[in-house]
Amino acid sequence: MKTLTELLNKKLEAAFEKCGYSKELAIVTVSDRPDLCQFQCNGAFGGAKLYHKAPRMIAEDVAAVLREDEDLSKAEIAGAGFINIDISDKLLLGFIEQVYTDEKTGVPQAEKPETIVLDYGGPNVAKPLHIGHLRAAVIGEALKRLVRATGRKAIADVHLGDWGLQMGLVMAELEERHPDWECFGDSFDPENCGEFPLTVDEMNEVYPFASAKSKENEEFKEKAKDLTVKMQNGDPRYEYLGREITKISLPDIKKNYENLNVDFDYWYGESDASKYEAELVETLEKKGLLYESEGAMVVDVAKDDDKITVPPVIIKKSDGSSIYATTDLATIVQREKDFAPQGIWYVVDQRQGLHFTQVFRCAEKAGILGETIPEHLGFGTMNGTDGKPYKTRDGGVMKLELLYKTVYDAAMERVKESKFSAEEDKADVARKIAVATIKFGDLINHRAKDYIFDLDKFMAADGKTGSFLLYTVARINSILKKTDESGITAASGVFTDSERDLLLKIALSGEAYALAFKDRAPNIVCENAYQLASSFSKFYHDNHILTEEDEQKKNAWLRACVVLRKVLEKHLDILGIESVDLM
């Protein structure tokens, strides 16, 4: 369905045209002075230049037409020619009912079908997930849901890091420790062998050990590099090892994402793109883009007007190995073949900006993009209260699992005392609160900004927190449980200011979704959800819903509750947050 401002735009366009003015002037915006009016239009100023007329005269002409419209309760001129507009309660109520019955709950839908691949998550096999992976997961999941809510197709691909040096490090260390393992024997046949004996516990211990060792032991480092190249070049033994290490790593990676309600359509890794590397190299060669520089094969991607140096992108290193950019480019070839998308959105740390500039430019020059527009949607860092990247108490890197557990335990403390959930539901409720706390705390910030993870603040029952949103939904549930919900019908009037304010905010949610999509910014959905919840607090305080004796009023207020709950749930769904029944 159309948003409320789109609807008003149409009215204004008709009014401008009726007065003989261009309809291009009719741009309606939500008022930034809600104390004066709900909407405004400044088109008369543009018209003044076009028609050599005082803006006020143009505004008067248009407002006179608008005053005839029953859907508008006010069309006034302010200052030198601003048109201030209020809509009638009848229009507002009708619009709210439409949102309520709309299949898409008022989320504006894409005009034409579109497919967007979302590349988020990006965990690295054999290494534990840490808080650096949190934002990619949380923001990516919300963007995927937002894309889907707008009627577009979203394809989520985790893009596992399984093709880099960490694989060689783990392999080299295992080979030194376990020369007796079948996979390291001379007659090893990956097609016909016993089970790979590595345990999760050993794997978790091997990577940090091997990584530290490679910093002191040059020979070991060279060996790890060599095994990485062997894997990349299709040596069956090391390809096999790579696959097996990934298999052991995946359940743990998946568990971390499950905790957070994050999921993917494809669990592809960098390795899955390797079969497209040859094609990539051939295309680059055919176009004459690839050349040798210091033994490596590179492509120039600098532009004359670059403000910073954009170095050539390396496709093959001198030892024949692929790098991060190679796999990203080959993955573009793969995605074009598999999905032919209109967009690929990379939800990746913004410090990787230069990498994506290089990759996108190279892809463009190579002509492998089809009609795809790639976008790097970078994000900032999650810091601790000291302003530095969030750490464990002893200063170590904070693992994602530990972060989740810390928040879950705090949520459980609260739920334990609660009389609202049955003993057997407590773990589920605590999980939902934990997810809401982590995600809302993250998503309320524009993705590009750093933010401070402050558990007490994030858990607070009011303010811009997940708990506040969950409390709001739970409070509405509790009100509705005390009435016969099936008897609540569409409202026949708006009775109080706080009610009108709430209804208008609900009606304007469509603009928030649209802007969030346009800016790829879930924080706009968060902010709108918060605004709705705080309008509800005022509404609930001002209007004594359950004890109201006037049946019409009571019905209208209950209807507002019913519609708000649906709209809030839509917001939470887009954010990847589940609500709880009672809290």
| Beta strand residue intervals within 42-147, DSSP E | 72-78, 82-87, 115-119
| Residue with smaller CB distance to ligand ARG, 61 or 119 | 119
Alpha-carbon distance of 337 to 227, in angstroms, equals: 30
CB 274, min distance to ligand ARG, A: 14
> Which parts of 120-164 fold into alpha helices (H)?
132-149
List binders of ligand ARG among 130-189 (CB under 6 A). Answer: 159, 161
Size of residue set near ligand ARG by CB under 6 A: 8
| Residue with smaller CB distance to ligand ARG, 346 or 458 | 346
CB 161, min distance to ligand ARG, A: 3
| Residue with smaller CB distance to ligand ARG, 130 or 554 | 130
Integer Rg of the chain from CA: 29
Alpha-carbon distance of 283 to 277, in angstroms, equals: 10
| Residue with smaller CB distance to ligand ARG, 295 or 370 | 370
Alpha-carbon distance of 390 to 441, in angstroms, equals: 14
Q: How many CB atoms lie within 10 A of CB 116?
A: 22
Sign of CA dihedral 206, 212, 213, 218: positive
| Residue with smaller CB distance to ligand ARG, 161 or 168 | 161
x/- map, 93-122, ligand ARG, by CB under 6 A:
--------------------------x--x
CB 122, min distance to ligand ARG, A: 3
Alpha-carbon distance of 560 to 493, in angstroms, equals: 11
List binders of ligand ARG among 529-548 (CB under 6 A). Answer: none
| Residue with smaller CB distance to ligand ARG, 119 or 442 | 119
CB 247, min distance to ligand ARG, A: 18
Taking a C-beta distance cutoff of 8 angstroms, is the pair 508, 500 a contact? no
Check residue 242 for interaction with ligand ARG (CB under 6 A).
no
Q: Is 270 helix (H, G, I), strand (E, B) or coil?
A: helix
Instruction: Please state, in angstroms and as integers, the Cα–Cα distance from residue 334 to each residue in 280, 341, 528, 544, following that order.
Output: 10, 11, 37, 59
> Which parts of 349-465 fold into alpha helices (H)?
353-366, 400-417, 426-443, 455-459
Nearest to 570 by CA among 146, 115, 143: 146
Output the residue with the shortest Cβ distance to ligand ARG. 122
| Residue with smaller CB distance to ligand ARG, 160 or 476 | 160
Q: Is 502 helix (H, G, I), strand (E, B) or coil?
A: helix
Instruction: Please state, in angstroms and as integers, the Cα–Cα distance from residue 141 to each residue in 108, 117, 234, 267, following that order.
Output: 19, 12, 33, 14
CB 514, min distance to ligand ARG, A: 27
Span between the terminal Cα atoms of the chain, in Å: 33
CB 328, min distance to ligand ARG, A: 5
CB 575, min distance to ligand ARG, A: 22
DSSP single-letter state for residue 379: B
| Residue with smaller CB distance to ligand ARG, 280 or 567 | 280
CB 469, min distance to ligand ARG, A: 29
| Residue with smaller CB distance to ligand ARG, 332 or 407 | 332
CB 559, min distance to ligand ARG, A: 46
Residue 154: which region, alpha, beta or left (left: phi > 0; alpha: psi -120 to 50)?
A: beta
Alpha-carbon distance of 565 to 567, in angstroms, equals: 5
| Residue with smaller CB distance to ligand ARG, 161 or 441 | 161
CB 276, min distance to ligand ARG, A: 14
CB 136, min distance to ligand ARG, A: 7
Selected from 163, 240, 345, 346, the binder of ligand ARG by CB under 6 A is 346
CB 124, min distance to ligand ARG, A: 5
Residue 352: which region, alpha, beta or left (left: phi > 0; alpha: psi -120 to 50)?
A: alpha
Residue 13: which region, alpha, beta or left (left: phi > 0; alpha: psi -120 to 50)?
A: alpha
| Residue with smaller CB distance to ligand ARG, 92 or 348 | 348
| Residue with smaller CB distance to ligand ARG, 86 or 328 | 328
Check residue 124 for interaction with ligand ARG (CB under 6 A).
yes
| Beta strand residue intervals within 24-173, DSSP E | 28-30, 39-41, 72-78, 82-87, 115-119, 153-157
Q: Going by C-beta distance under 8 Å and a sequence separation of 6 or more, which residues neighbour residue 305?
A: none
x/- map, 496-535, ligand ARG, by CB under 6 A:
----------------------------------------
x/- map, 348-387, ligand ARG, by CB under 6 A:
x---------------------------------------
Check residue 128 for interaction with ligand ARG (CB under 6 A).
no
Q: Which residues pair with 76 in a beta bridge?
A: 84
Selected from 328, 442, 499, 511, the binder of ligand ARG by CB under 6 A is 328
User: Which residues bind to ligand ARG, rule: CB under 6 A?
Assistant: 119, 122, 124, 159, 161, 328, 346, 348
